A and B are shown apart, each in its own frame.
Chain A
């Protein structure tokens, strides 16, 4: 029935019958809106939360093992172990955005568990400590998750693009 409605040339709207359908609609709208958002001029993630501590000219990509995934405000953070060039294990802590932003990017509290093998790209801090800000993560199953919150340049006109939740 819904396929026929979708293909109909007559503009017909069928109200969502169930909560599950509301969630599915939300995901579909979210995906479309994120795509449209990427087509506009974007402001990097660090502009949202401040970049004073980070070396914004550098990106580091490593293979790592997750030790902790902290899902909370103000920022979620991911702890992992990665070996340095001498084979010593370094304990890293890298931050993302808040849960509201991360859900819109497809992340969740269940995205990671200790022991997960990942490939992570992040921006390191300037002072040399093992702290960073996440750019993206590639999971063991090959899925890539971006941590970049995209929004239109503040000096532009209102985008009108909502991020449906």
Chain B
């Protein structure tokens, strides 16, 4: 904390890291490489698998119900067992993953774009607009996010779009805060003053001078946020307020499996494991991005590693 007080975080991004540099930093981070490979494979399996397994995930087979994991003699689709209606857990995890990750990704993209726009506007303009935005963001900080979601989901019909809108409302304040704080700092830098003196419009300053400087921070925050949204959506679905049957999401699978906990632990275990593994991978990628997009911190970390070796 004391160091960042001396070097404002934005200062370090003054020299923009090039794509080559960012990729090269992967050499120091085998865990991030693993996480990226996991995510790539996951997306491939989910997108491809949901097309192939879509029907299987919904098809019931009462002769095959509550099969324990590893029941391969009944067919490869029962690798992770089957539920009380004889549906393949593996197929349901694949199909549910598309919904879970799709909701998380959509939410983060929309919330980060809108939130950053509001944050830059508030930070750059200051005054009344800034005050208003920050008071509203304060409310959301004091207000139990998940309870607000529950209230909203109770008011509006439980459609997928409602869930996404509620999640966006839940995540917006984060982006407003981060981008506003960064903008406040960038606004005072010389190149922004220079642009202003040269007659650049507010729009041009915001998009060409402020945005590129704060973008790496937003990207890092947004990456991590995919994991957070995934947890929030899972919690909501678990409470019966998120994704609604017959749609499938990982959180919903955990909630459904809870009733059969004694008879079939795998119904709860595997969807939860999918959430955890994906969450870890996203965390690792976000950690790597934070360092890779910030040359000063990267140098510090590596230097520290060398010191440590002595």
Q: Indicate whether A and B interact.
A: no
Which positions in B face A, CB cutoff 8 Å? none
Which positions in A face B, CB cutoff 8 Å? none
